[in-house]
Amino acid sequence: MRKFNITIEIMPTDSVLDPQGEAIELTLKDNSKYQANNFRVGKRIEFVIESKNNLSAKNTVKELCEKFLVNEIIEKYKIKIENAKN
């Protein structure tokens, strides 16, 4: 079995209201020093998984996302898989 470093980035879908992003924008709207807008706030999950190969690891992580980690109705996600350093 090989070890893989997994990173999952989870963001609200574009059609979903993002109250944390809106709060950041409201905080900065009266501050002319920062010209930033369209904030979206998400989550990042990192862990190590043992699997036979990259494809098997990807399938396992996708299943974890769909069953436990991501609400696909309001969230989208990206998976990054890297070989773990021993």
Token pair 């350093």: residue: 85
The residues with which 81 forms a beta bridge, in sequence order, are 6
- pTM more than 0.85: yes
Tell me the CATH number at 47.
3.30.1280.10
Q: How many domains does the chain have?
A: 1
Task: Return d(Cα 38, Cα 25) in angstroms, integer.
Answer: 7
- pLDDT tens for 71-83 read 999 999 999 999 9
Query: Could you tell me which residue, 29 or 53, shows the higher pLDDT?
Result: 53
Rounded to 5 degrees, φ, ψ at 13 are: -65, 160
Task: Flag whether pLDDT at 86 surpasses 70.
Answer: no
Task: Provide the domain limits for residue 79.
Answer: 2-83
Task: Flag whether pLDDT at 54 surpasses 70.
Answer: yes
